[in-house]
């Protein structure tokens, strides 16, 4: 019996040892697996060296500015907000951690001016901007539109305050009728409300001087465009910055430019997805890039444009803390102004060049076309070729101080003192 028990113990021990050997893992070969995006080892991707590439920067130079338009800032851009009716001006400014210069309200021609909202602006030391649409009801069919315009101009002029009026932004009339009405309205406001700056809103699909709805430079104090960054079919934002640059280059020599409004979508009913992180990054990118347009005088953010107003997209920032934080950080710089300026002495203003410059190996390179066509200087003989165009080392351009602002990502060219 004792021998049997001894044999049984030896047999169990052998089974135990065999089991331990069987459970020992085999050596892992190949790429380690990952779980939920986190590597199970300290495995790192092999380092791939990339050749440094020249970095393109917008170029601003000093040039004859002419007369500043009514309410145009000397430098920088006014901050503006287009708020929902339930959002108070002071509450929005508290969330943004910065005062805003302009706030927007909409009225239809023939309606009463919203006095309480106007007084709220006066108390907040902000400047009102009225978006004026055509009459909405049949009650004014028998009233000449000229009389309605005169009444509105007299009503706003009685406050004796600087204001903006964006007149008939939707272009619902035939082009010839629209331009005639716009010019007549501008003359009426010039007579009865001389402190009101008149704004022409460009159709986004054709924002050029050749547009048949453009009433002419003499009838326009400011030009404006609406820009909304939405999600395309490939899950990217639409490139509204490129659209704005084309619009800006068409008009900035003649009038200051405003964005009325600017919106970045963080939710769409197309796929019912929230993209707060991507929207916050796009807000930061846009406000940083817009600082390179020196005659951009006003940026109004479209906080009122939620899904209830804008259809499928939500552009608001005040109801989402991550977006409000991103917006507050984006507008914190000195370029963005908190109050409307009175016109000061005219000086040579900054002009955006049609051609980009480059920064490469700690040197600044300026396009030979910038030197010849815009600075009226002979192009240096020694040039380099970047992206199939010729550039000169900034140190070889005479009588100019050329510097770079890395924060705004802009190259500045000034005359020697």
pLDDT digits (tens, 9 = 90+) for 295-314: 999 999 999 998 777 678 99
Provide long-range contacts, Cβ within 8 A and 24+ apart, for 214-220.
214/179, 215/178, 215/179, 215/182, 215/183, 215/186, 216/179, 216/183, 217/254, 217/255, 219/182, 219/183, 219/186, 220/186, 220/254, 220/255
Rounded to whole angstroms, how far apart are CA atoms 300 and 82?
Answer: 6
Final residue belonging to a domain, choices 329, 345, 361: 345
Do 134 and 252 share a domain, yes or no? yes
Do 408 and 278 share a domain, yes or no? no
Tokens of residue 3, six digits: 């021998």
The Cα-based distances of 259 to 82, 225, 284, 293 in angstroms read: 11, 5, 16, 12
Task: Give the residue with greater pLDDT, 5 vs 190.
Answer: 190
SS3 assignment, position 147 = helix
Do 319 and 377 share a domain, yes or no? no
Instruction: Tell whether 3 is covered by a domain.
Output: no
Kindly state the greatest CA–CA separation across the chain.
Answer: 125
Instruction: Tell whether 43 is covered by a domain.
Output: no
Q: Which residues are CB-contacts of 371 (< 8 A; sequence separation ≥ 6)?
A: 377, 378, 379, 380, 392, 397
The answer, yes or no, to whether residue 12 has pLDDT greater than 80, is no
Rounded to whole angstroms, how far apart are CA atoms 350 and 55?
Answer: 22
Do 199 and 215 share a domain, yes or no? yes
Instruction: Tell whether 32 is covered by a domain.
Output: no
Do 333 and 356 share a domain, yes or no? no
Q: What is the pLDDT of residue 70?
A: 93
Rounded to whole angstroms, how far apart are CA atoms 157 and 196?
Answer: 8
Structural domain count of the chain: 2
Q: What is the mean pLDDT of the chain?
A: 86
The answer, yes or no, to whether residue 20 has pLDDT greater than 50, is no
Do 247 and 370 share a domain, yes or no? no
Provide the residue range defining the domain that includes 312: 72-345
Q: Is 280 exposed, middle or buried (0-12, 13-18, 19+ CB in 10 A)?
A: buried
The answer, yes or no, to whether residue 217 has pLDDT greater than 50, is yes
Q: What is the pLDDT of residue 246?
A: 92
The answer, yes or no, to whether residue 127 has pLDDT greater than 90, is yes
Final residue belonging to a domain, choices 295, 314, 345: 345
Task: Give the residue with greater pLDDT, 323 vs 398.
Answer: 323
Do 221 and 77 share a domain, yes or no? yes
CATH number at residue 136: 3.20.20.80
Q: What is the pLDDT of residue 211?
A: 84
Instruction: Look up tokens 């006003």; give the residue.
Output: 298
H/E element holding 11?
helix 2-23
Burial 198-212 (b: 16+ CB within 10 A, else e): bbbbbbeeebeeebe
Do 286 and 390 share a domain, yes or no? no
Instruction: Give the range among 27-36, 106-115, 406-415 with minimum mean pLDDT.
Output: 27-36
Instruction: Tell whether 53 is covered by a domain.
Output: no
Do 367 and 336 share a domain, yes or no? no
Rounded to whole angstroms, how far apart are CA atoms 159 and 61?
Answer: 39
Final residue belonging to a domain, choices 345, 376, 394: 345
pTM, two decimals, is: 0.84
Instruction: Give the range among 209-213, 326-330, 349-353, 366-370 with minimum mean pLDDT.
Output: 209-213
Do 186 and 290 share a domain, yes or no? yes
Q: What is the pLDDT of residue 37?
A: 34
Do 273 and 384 share a domain, yes or no? no
Q: Which residues are CB-contacts of 335 (< 8 A; sequence separation ≥ 6)?
A: 75, 76, 77, 291, 408
The answer, yes or no, to whether residue 32 has pLDDT greater than 80, is no
Strands 389-393, 384-386: parallel, antiparallel or unpaired by DSSP?
antiparallel
Q: Directed axis angle between helix 175-192 and helix 145-157, to 10°?
A: 30
Do 186 and 333 share a domain, yes or no? yes
Rounded to whole angstroms, how far apart are CA atoms 140 and 253?
Answer: 39
């Amino acid at each position: 019996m004792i021998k049997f028990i001894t044999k049984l113990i030896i047999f169990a021990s052998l089974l135990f040892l065999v089991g331990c050997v069987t459970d020992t893992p085999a050596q892992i070969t190949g790429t380690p697996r990952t779980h939920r995006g986190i590597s199970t080892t300290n495995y790192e991707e092999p380092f791939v060296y990339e050749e440094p590439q020249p970095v393109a920067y917008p170029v601003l130079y000093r040039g004859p500015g002419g007369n500043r338009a009514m309410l145009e800032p000397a430098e920088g851009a006014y901050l503006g907000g287009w708020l929902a009716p339930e959002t108070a001006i002071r509450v929005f400014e508290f969330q943004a951690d910065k005062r805003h210069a302009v706030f927007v309200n909409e009225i239809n021609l023939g309606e009463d001016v919203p006095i309480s909202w106007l007084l709220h602006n006066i108390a907040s030391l902000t400047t009102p901007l009225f978006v004026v649409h055509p009459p909405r009801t049949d009650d004014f069919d028998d009233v000449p539109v000229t009389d309605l315009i005169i009444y509105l101009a007299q009503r706003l002029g009685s406050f004796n305050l600087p204001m903006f009026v964006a007149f008939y932004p939707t272009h619902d009339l035939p082009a010839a009728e629209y331009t005639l009405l716009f010019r007549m309205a501008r003359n009426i406001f010039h007579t009865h409300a001389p402190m009101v700056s008149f704004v022409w809103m460009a159709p986004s699909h054709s924002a050029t001087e050749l547009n048949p709805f453009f009433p002419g430079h003499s009838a326009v104090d400011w030009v404006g465009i609406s820009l909304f960054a939405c999600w395309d079919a490939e899950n990217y934002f639409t490139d509204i910055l490129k659209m704005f640059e084309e619009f800006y280059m068409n008009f900035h020599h003649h009038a200051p430019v405003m964005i009325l409004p600017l919106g970045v979508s963080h939710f769409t009913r197309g796929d019912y997805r929230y993209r707060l992180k991507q929207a916050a990054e796009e807000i930061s990118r846009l406000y940083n890039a817009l600082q390179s347009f020196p005659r951009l005088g006003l940026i109004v953010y479209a906080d009122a444009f939620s899904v209830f107003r804008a259809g499928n997209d939500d552009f608001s920032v005040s109801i989402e803390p991550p977006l409000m934080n991103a917006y507050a950080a984006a507008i914190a710089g000195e370029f963005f102004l908190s109050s409307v300026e009175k016109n000061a002495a005219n000086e040579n203003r900054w002009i955006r060049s049609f051609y980009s410059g480059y920064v490469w190996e700690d040197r600044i390179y300026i396009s030979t076309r910038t030197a010849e066509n815009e600075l009226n200087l002979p192009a240096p003989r020694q040039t380099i070729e970047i992206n199939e165009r010729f550039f000169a080392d900034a140190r070889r351009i005479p009588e100019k101080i050329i510097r770079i602002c890395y924060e705004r990502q802009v190259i500045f060219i000034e005359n020697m003192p």
